[in-house]
Structure 1
Amino acid sequence: MFFSVAWLRLPLAVSLLLPALARAHEDSLFTSSVTYCAPPEEILVQQFDVAYFAANSSVSFNISAASVLPNLNVSATLYINVYGMQPLNLTIDICSLFSGALCPLPMYNFTGWDSIPLPSSLDVASRLPGIAYVIPDLEAFAQLTLTEVGTDQVKACVQSTLSNGWSTHQRAVEWTTAAMALLALLGSIWQSVMMDALALMPVRLLDLVYLYQTIAASGLLGLNYPVVYRAFTLNFAWALGLFAAGPSSHVQHSINSMRHLTGGQLADASSGGAVPLVNRKMSPYNVPESANTFLAPAALPRVRLAEGLLARASAAGSAVRVGGDVATVTPESANVLAPGIPIFVNSIGIATANAFVTVFLVGLVYAAVVLAALALAYGAAVALGRTRKGRDSDKLAEFRQEYPAWARAWGLRAASVCVVPVLVFSFYQWTLKDSWLSVLLSVITLLTIAGIVLYSYYLVIRSVVRARSSSTAPAPPPSTVPLTAPYAPHRAWYGALLLAAVLVKALVTAFGSATGLAQAVVFLATDVLVFAALVVLKPYRTRRADVLMGFLAAVRMVASGLLIAFAQSLSLKPIPRVVIGIITAIIFSVAVLVMFFNVFVNMGLWRLLCDALCCARRRRAGDRALASNPSHGSDPSILEKGGASPVSGASGEGEAYREQQ
């Protein structure tokens, strides 16, 4: 039964720390999305919002519906699925609602709303344990089936996913991670100007961004992810160039128009998000394989809610109107989103066919910002060089002389950041066979990034090969510093191995979405090989760097191994999948925290913080020494005669501390 999820409380408590969800929260379950589970031919539902409040075991609802058939009497079957289990399954006597206003169903828009206490005989509180109200990204849905009285024919079916208000996808997490990346960027720029080519912050900047991209990319596979983990990976979607878009997004509407004008036939994003279009066998629905689409109401308990019900109802007019973007999803539907990239991008309001073009447009803005920043840096150097201090500054003169190589190095870093999203979404665009313009742009973008990055790797590998055959071989060009700085000189080629691993993962992500298990296995094998190569070769310049990179490689390897549990073919139960999803999110979160701390240390902020704390302790110690000095209470005649106080040394030390601060 659902009580078995109680052992989730410890990992759940830890996972709740990740999105910083500290706010007042009322124990309740409410509608988060609505879909038809049968074609709306005889009964049309415009709105179906339901909320259950645990405090008083009451249900609030807001229903807007209409019938297109005369003299239609129906009964309602309410079915609730929580993590694949059915804590509630009952039939409601429709004729007892609204003083019989729904028997027969009215042939106009009927709207009803109220909050009613549930009969104690239902005992809903015991069926829904307390953890259902606090676990993030609850996987539950309610199904309302209307069957004709007498014939038991299904006349309408509506499914609503339920939420408790908690989620691991939080705007605060997105802004925090982005702010840390921005801070690392500023520190990297400062160190690359003020220090030598082996400055550590530019290296850690790329490591941090690659960690973000790894987390986001782990949600792109064709797996049956628990909602809690998919929501966690969405916090890092911005690192792939994907930013959440609403139904009124002008950018997405422009991309839709461009696609349709250039041969695109795929659907636009649904205003309801991705959840309504998820296959019913997958999260958050978790419908058992043996379950029927519609439940036979005859064998279910019937409940009359007429007693104490003071519902409010209104007729909106004689014409039947159906509003909203309510999708119809049945076992025969062709609009169900495939697992992997389609569900990931539609979860943030981006259509499947718009994914690459969105990344492309973000990349154009990104390239413009990078070029403008490089131009601004050169302009600032020229302007400072014309000042009196600038003309006397050897450091500024050296920077202006080395600016071309410095700018090319930063251009290479900027291109390296784009490798993962460009590879994944360019390859995936080719599988869609949609707009020819989107395909053309993907080819151009891929060739541009490949030309910049691959040529730089060619220069590095050529220098390493020549160095092995001749001790007088020239060093790699200064513009390739981003590829050589992290590694020992004789291991400078190691970056090419990491690039090959990224390429393999991108190919598998884009072209292997039909076999999620194979994708996860290839990810695991790739990460195992990378980890083994790191342990054997020890390619980095220092032992500390080897340890840090080994830790990150181990995190990727363990996370890839855990992803295998999400394969649809394994049919793992929902609760174990949620546990594994939370554990994987925690592992990645620890890695992010480690990188945060590393960035603070390498920027020197940790030392400043420690110095500030130590100075504060010294100041407080000096104040306490002064406060405990008994000289003020000694015989004043001794001081008048120039005698020394018994604790004059302590007093002097206190004054010395104060003078030093």
Structure 2
Amino acid sequence: MRLPLMLFAVVSTLLSSATGERLLMSSSLNACQQDSSFKASLFNVVYTPSNNTANVQMVATSSIEGKVVFDLAISAYGYQFLRQTLNPCEMNLPGLCPMVAGKIPFGFTLNVGEEASRQIPGIAYNIPDLDAKVKVFVNLTSTGESVACVEADISNGKTVDLFGVKWATAIIAGLALISSAVVNGLGNPNAAAHVAANSLALFGYFQAQAILGLTGVSLPPIVQAWAMDFQWSMGIIRVEFMQTLFTWYQRATGGTPAAIFDSLTTVSVQVAKRALKRAAPVTESGMNLFTRSLAMMPASIIQPAGKLFKRGNITTGSGSFLVYGIQRVAFRSKIETTNLFMTGLAFFYFFVLFTVLVVIILKTVFDLCAKKGWIGPEKFLEFRNGWLTVLKGILFRIVLIGFPQICILCFWEFTQADSPAEIVLAAVFSAGMIATLTWGACKVIRIARRSIAMHRNPAYILFSDPQTLNKWGFLYIQFRASAYYFIAPVLCYTVIKAMLVSFGQNNGTAQAIGFVLVEAAALIAASFGAPLIVVGTVGVVLFVLNAAFSLILLLMVIISTTVTFFRKNPDARYQIMADDRASFMKSQTQLNTTTELDALAATARGDKTGYKHPLDLDEDNHSSAPGKPVSGGVTQAQDSAVSSIA
């Protein structure tokens, strides 16, 4: 990549500002004090500095009667740069001089003075995902009493949430995963292991960024947008016909789909960036959102509620709706909140089916090419001979990659109860994946213990048997051989983190504390930490640091993959691991030759039982003549002891 993907996103937004019209806008108005006498369910304001006008469209409910003045304050990243008092009577604002009680829909164009316009810093029009807000106190002219307080977040229409970045990161991660499989099929397991480790690290980093955006913790606007660039790694991808299908499925299975995008012109939606301590659950099928609303909702004005939130968005006293955490991601992805679970689940399922079809097609094509003489007989020989084992290993890898996604979405579905059928799907998929990976981790530990008992080295069987390596290698190849068991704490870490994200949506403080503890434990155990959950101006720092780190990972994957394909001997590029795994890695053809020689030797010795491969690890018991050593010098008694240990 010539430029960092995310820095390129910033540059593109800065360049677009030179040609596009500069503007500031807001799309929801929130009350900022208890018992506010002025509330708005719809609020749209667009300010254009080219003509110094602000177009206002609002539907407000007011209990204020009489003349008032507006005390206005505008701030960005915590810095207040404009404070002004406005008199609606002097400005001839219709419906506001004097104010009357009732529901008042009105729209008008407000002329902004040159002096006020000059106080707006030019950088406010260029920084993507601007973190700025305007707060207005409504004071009675007669007494000076503050009878209402409203505030709105301001956006300049620029964002780092770009489709180009999503496609680029997805394509690079996908090609890296595919290249590791191709290199392994060409007979270079050491190089394939390194490429796979790099690509999985990149994919895991993308998922960590996506999970950050799914939390209910306070996030600055630029961090929310940054996390949206990686939600594809969690299967959160909007496809129009799939949304229609999921809505039908939910309705057919006893659920009530939300219709949250039907009335965008009548009700605003506030995308919360502040942590919520209390909120009221509302179950409505007619919830409505307004795109690009980035308003915050202080916890003090949200109606108190109970425990875990049932399906539905949170309503405020003004009639607007509030989304945060997982629902915030669904809203920004233009996916109905009741369709989010099925969207992520369906993409995982389709990816599994697609992978199976690709492997079957490749097996057929390679066999045909070898039969016709179009490729050498040794090309992709290991894949052609053991394609079923390879397929099982690939499926296990997919399960491991999709494990965070499925855990979070399934656990969250338990709190939403979109329909009985979806709850069953969540239970089946979550339990199935946890059981599968737990069984795989136990299998690896048993194999390693057997290898230690037989050869005093866990790496011997783990890396010398191609069936074990192809089927279970994804669980341990990224660790040193002596840390073969580390997949178990990794799985526990993933489950705990998923539970924090899914069940802690309504308590950002507890969720943040839980994340700190979990990540601290992971850092101590593996010298690895996840991105910090921060607010304020630190959000810009987080964005820049993560953009740089993404660039490093992307370049590592691209360079290592490219060099691997163009080197004559890719395995020679990588240093031999200190755990001697490379000395145990052999090709399938070498193992077949050794097996034939061992069988011939057994016949010459007159063994009636013949030769049996000692690494048939799908069976717990191996047999040979009493007291006779099998290959590798291990007696039957020793093998029985190993079986009992395993």
TM-score (norm. length: structure 1): 0.66
TM-superposed deviation, 1:398? 3.8
User: Does the CA contact (< 8 Å) of 1:346 and 1:352 recur in 2?
Assistant: yes
User: Does the CA contact (< 8 Å) of 1:37 and 1:329 recur in 2?
Assistant: no
The corresponding residue for 1:490 is 482
Equivalent AA in structure 1 for residue 46 of structure 2: V
1:91 equivalent to 2:106? Answer no
User: Does the CA contact (< 8 Å) of 2:29 and 2:43 recur in 1?
Assistant: no
Q: Tell me how far apart the structure 1 counterparts of residues 406 and 61 of structure 2 sit (CA, whole Å).
A: 50
Distance 1:176 1:346, change over 3 A: same
Q: Name stretches of at least 5 consecutive residues in structure 2 with no aligned partner.
A: 277-293, 304-312, 568-646
Equivalent AA in structure 2 for residue 466 of structure 1: R
Distance 1:95 1:191, change over 3 A: same
Equivalent AA in structure 2 for residue 448 of structure 1: G
Equivalent AA in structure 2 for residue 440 of structure 1: V
TM-superposed deviation, 1:211? 1.0
329, 332, 341: which one pairs with 1:344?
329
1:356 equivalent to 2:341? Answer yes
1:251 equivalent to 2:247? Answer no
User: Does the CA contact (< 8 Å) of 2:54 and 2:109 recur in 1?
Assistant: yes
Q: 2:189 aligns to what SS in structure 1?
A: coil
Distance 1:262 1:215, change over 3 A: same
1:504 equivalent to 2:500? Answer no
Distance 1:78 1:171, change over 3 A: farther
TM-superposed deviation, 1:181? 0.9
User: Does the CA contact (< 8 Å) of 1:37 and 1:159 recur in 2?
Assistant: yes
TM-superposed deviation, 1:212? 0.6
Q: Any idea what the Cα deviations from partners look like across 1:509-548, whole Å, max 9, x if unmatched?
A: 22223333333333333333333333xxxxxxxxxxxxxx
The corresponding residue for 1:205 is 199
Equivalent AA in structure 1 for residue 86 of structure 2: T
1:375 equivalent to 2:360? Answer yes
The corresponding residue for 1:315 is none
1:228 equivalent to 2:230? Answer no
Q: Tell me how far apart the structure 2 counterparts of residues 439 and 281 of structure 1 sit (CA, whole Å).
A: 30
Q: Tell me how far apart the structure 2 counterparts of residues 446 and 403 of structure 1 sit (CA, whole Å).
A: 27
1:82 equivalent to 2:75? Answer yes
Distance 1:291 1:497, change over 3 A: closer
TM-superposed deviation, 1:101? 13
The corresponding residue for 1:323 is none
User: Does the CA contact (< 8 Å) of 2:246 and 2:339 recur in 1?
Assistant: yes
553, 557, 562: which one pairs with 1:604?
562
Aligned pairs, number: 517
TM-superposed deviation, 1:418? 0.8
TM-superposed deviation, 1:407? 1.6
User: Does the CA contact (< 8 Å) of 1:345 and 1:355 recur in 2?
Assistant: yes
TM-superposed deviation, 1:501? 1.4
TM-score (norm. length: structure 2): 0.67
Distance 1:242 1:74, change over 3 A: farther
Q: Tell me how far apart the structure 2 counterparts of residues 402 and 331 of structure 1 sit (CA, whole Å).
A: 63
TM-superposed deviation, 1:462? 0.8
517, 522, 531: which one pairs with 1:525?
517
Q: Tell me how far apart the structure 2 counterparts of residues 388 and 438 of structure 1 sit (CA, whole Å).
A: 50
Equivalent AA in structure 1 for residue 16 of structure 2: A
Q: 2:28 aligns to what SS in structure 1?
A: strand
Q: Tell me how far apart the structure 2 counterparts of residues 521 and 98 of structure 1 sit (CA, whole Å).
A: 48
Equivalent AA in structure 1 for residue 536 of structure 2: V
Distance 1:351 1:596, change over 3 A: same
TM-superposed deviation, 1:232? 0.7
The corresponding residue for 2:47 is 51
User: Does the CA contact (< 8 Å) of 1:269 and 1:349 recur in 2?
Assistant: no
Equivalent AA in structure 2 for residue 591 of structure 1: F
Runs of 4+ in 1 over 6 A off after TM superposition: 41-47, 64-69, 72-76, 98-105, 107-113, 143-159, 287-293, 606-609
User: Does the CA contact (< 8 Å) of 2:69 and 2:87 recur in 1?
Assistant: yes
The corresponding residue for 1:277 is 270
What is the identity percentage for the equivalent residue pairs of Structure 1 and Structure 2?
19
Q: Tell me how far apart the structure 2 counterparts of residues 280 and 148 of structure 1 sit (CA, whole Å).
A: 31
The corresponding residue for 2:544 is 586
Equivalent AA in structure 2 for residue 208 of structure 1: L
Q: Tell me how far apart the structure 2 counterparts of residues 500 and 67 of structure 1 sit (CA, whole Å).
A: 50
Q: 1:31 aligns to what SS in structure 2?
A: strand
User: Does the CA contact (< 8 Å) of 2:30 and 2:39 recur in 1?
Assistant: no
User: Does the CA contact (< 8 Å) of 1:29 and 1:162 recur in 2?
Assistant: no
* 267-276 vs 491-500, which moves further: 267-276
TM-superposed deviation, 1:417? 1.4
TM-superposed deviation, 1:487? 2.9
The corresponding residue for 2:123 is 131
Q: Tell me how far apart the structure 1 counterparts of residues 71 and 167 of structure 2 sit (CA, whole Å).
A: 40
TM-superposed deviation, 1:225? 0.9
Distance 1:608 1:396, change over 3 A: closer
Q: Any idea what the Cα deviations from partners look like across 1:67-125, whole Å, max 9, x if unmatched?
A: 999xx9987848454346663453343686599999999x99998676845264xx342
Equivalent AA in structure 2 for residue 231 of structure 1: A
Q: 2:215 aligns to what SS in structure 1?
A: coil
* 268-277 vs 372-381, which moves further: 268-277
160, 170, 194: which one pairs with 1:168?
160
Structural mapping, 1:138-157, within 5 Å: 138-142=130-134
Q: 1:61 aligns to what SS in structure 2?
A: strand
Q: 2:198 aligns to what SS in structure 1?
A: helix
* 195-204 vs 370-379, which moves further: 195-204
Distance 1:186 1:280, change over 3 A: closer
1:384 equivalent to 2:384? Answer no
TM-superposed deviation, 1:463? 0.4
Q: Tell me how far apart the structure 2 counterparts of residues 42 and 219 of structure 1 sit (CA, whole Å).
A: 32
Distance 1:282 1:482, change over 3 A: closer
Q: Any idea what the Cα deviations from partners look like across 1:394-414, whole Å, max 9, x if unmatched?
A: 234443112122222111112
Q: Which has the larger radius of gyration?
A: 1
The corresponding residue for 2:231 is 237
The corresponding residue for 1:544 is none
Q: Tell me how far apart the structure 1 counterparts of residues 388 and 302 of structure 2 sit (CA, whole Å).
A: 67
Q: 1:135 aligns to what SS in structure 2?
A: coil
Structural mapping, 1:180-219, within 5 Å: 180-198=172-190, 199=192, 200-219=194-213
The corresponding residue for 1:30 is 24
Q: 1:211 aligns to what SS in structure 2?
A: helix
Q: 1:166 aligns to what SS in structure 2?
A: coil
User: Does the CA contact (< 8 Å) of 1:146 and 1:157 recur in 2?
Assistant: yes
394, 403, 407: which one pairs with 1:419?
403
TM-superposed deviation, 1:64? 7.6
Q: 2:379 aligns to what SS in structure 1?
A: helix
Q: Tell me how far apart the structure 2 counterparts of residues 331 and 354 of structure 1 sit (CA, whole Å).
A: 27
User: Does the CA contact (< 8 Å) of 1:356 and 1:429 recur in 2?
Assistant: yes
Q: Name stretches of at least 5 consecutive residues in structure 1 with no aligned partner.
A: 1-12, 294-326, 535-549, 567-576, 610-661
Distance 1:403 1:148, change over 3 A: same
